[in-house]
Amino acid sequence: MASPRLSLTAGPADPRSRALLDWYDRHRRVLPWRALPGRRSDPYHVWLSEIMLQQTTVETVKPYFAKFLALWPDIRALAAADDQTVLSAWAGLGYYARARNLIACARAVAARPGAGFPETEEGLRALPGIGAYTAAAIAAIAFDEPAVVIDGNIERVIARLEAIETPLPRAKVEIAAALRPMVPAGRPGDFAQALMDLGSGICRPRNPDCLLCPFRSTCKAAAEGRATAFPVKPARKGKAIRHGTAYLVRDGAGRILLGTRPERGLLAGMAEVPNTGWAETAPPDSPPVRAEWTRRNAPVIHVFTHFELRLIVAETRLADEPTPPAGLRWVAEADLPGEPLPTLFRKVIGIAG
């Protein structure tokens, strides 16, 4: 059970920070990984949720967080888990390098005295998969360190509060400089989470509820009637498009042919449907078996961070149950949920029903 929060210093000196914390005490979100008022946050819960929340929504993360805690209730249990089992549990969350780093970080922490996380930003940054934002968030929320925590919601709140005209990402330096003196010595974790809640529920990208905001009397963007003009973003570039072909093979028993992606690169170590690879122009055909193929007219479209993939699906069903080609394996459809299949390849399999 989490221990009571240690006594903290007097309230923040900045009146804006006091107003924000007063608002948070009334309107804070109840989240599975968030400690109850007056309780100290569990560092394992904070770390796990922050890794899951990278590039992912709160509602998407909630069931994954519950599943991970049920399977691995503490850092030692996760550190001892089989890699493929963790990757399978992660499947669907995307950005699979995070899952690899999650395993590596769990093992690094479990090897420390008492299997405890470092309590400083510097110490946290030395762990696999923990960058500047995540280190600051864990330090503030789990260890009451007065760290400057800046995620996308907080960027938006502070850019509007100060009407910062510099476009992102160059504005990050000004946002950090504006936020730093606002961080209270007492309740820095609550302060960071309050800004996150404010950005999520009130200071939204579109249609912000400025009249309900605790910063309404001090927000420069709101005073100018230009809240949605901030943060200023650079001109958008079109996403690159890549093409490829996926080969969906079923044998006489209805099993599906799968492989495993390389240990490095995109979707590293995950399961995959055999495919040509992806490039700006469609790579040449490279079917895994000799057969008659039926091609779907409409591609499976999947958007990654830096490019859009358009994957043509070619299907075949074999009459017998041959030995799988080297590096591939037959998997019964009933066993697919246990495979670390990313969303992309679940789409490919799902297209044929």
Q: What percent of the chain has pLDDT over 90?
A: 87
R_g of the chain computed on alpha carbons = 24
Residue 313 — very low, low, confident or very high, per pLDDT cuts 50/70/90? very high
What is the average per-residue pLDDT within 321-329?
94
Residues 175-228 pLDDT 10s:
999 999 999 999 999 999 999 999 999 999 999 999 999 999 999 999 999 999
Q: What is the CATH number of the domain that holds 215?
A: 1.10.340.30
Q: Are residues 225 and 245 in the same domain?
A: no
155 catalytic per annotation: no
What average pLDDT does this structure show over 304-313? 93
Q: Which of 184, 173, 178 is nearest to 162 (CA)?
A: 178
Residue-level pLDDT at 45:
98
pLDDT of residue 6 exceeding 80 = no
For residue 83, pLDDT over 80 is answered with yes
pLDDT at 3: 37
Q: Does one domain contain both 280 and 322?
A: yes
Residue 235 within any structural domain of the chain: no
Residue 68 counted as domain residue: yes
Dihedral sign, CA of 20, 22, 23, 24?
positive
User: Once rounded to an integer, what is the mean pLDDT over residues 317-345?
Assistant: 93
Q: Give pLDDT, residue 44.
A: 98
- The DSSP annotation for 91-160 comes to TTS--THHHHHHHHHHHHHHTSGGG---SSHHHHHTSTT--HHHHHHHHHHHH--------HHHHHHHHH
Same domain, 197 and 283: no
- Domain range enclosing 35: 15-229
Q: What is the mean pLDDT of residues 113-136?
A: 96
Query: pLDDT above 70 covers what percent of the chain?
Result: 96
Residues 294 and 217 in one domain: no
Looking at the structure, do residues 321 and 219 belong to the same domain, yes or no? no
Residues 50 and 161 in one domain: yes
Catalytic entry in 50, 121, 162, 272: 50
Domain count within the chain: 2
Same domain, 117 and 185: yes
Q: Is the pLDDT of residue 249 over 50?
A: yes
Give the pLDDT score at 9: 39
Q: What is the pLDDT of residues 7-18, one digit of tens each?
A: 333 456 799 999
* Whole-number Å distance between alpha carbons of 264 and 165: 39
pLDDT at 34 > cutoff 50: yes
Same domain, 209 and 293: no
What is the Cα–Cα distance from 324 to 247, expressed in whole angstroms? 14
- Residue 96 has a pLDDT of 86
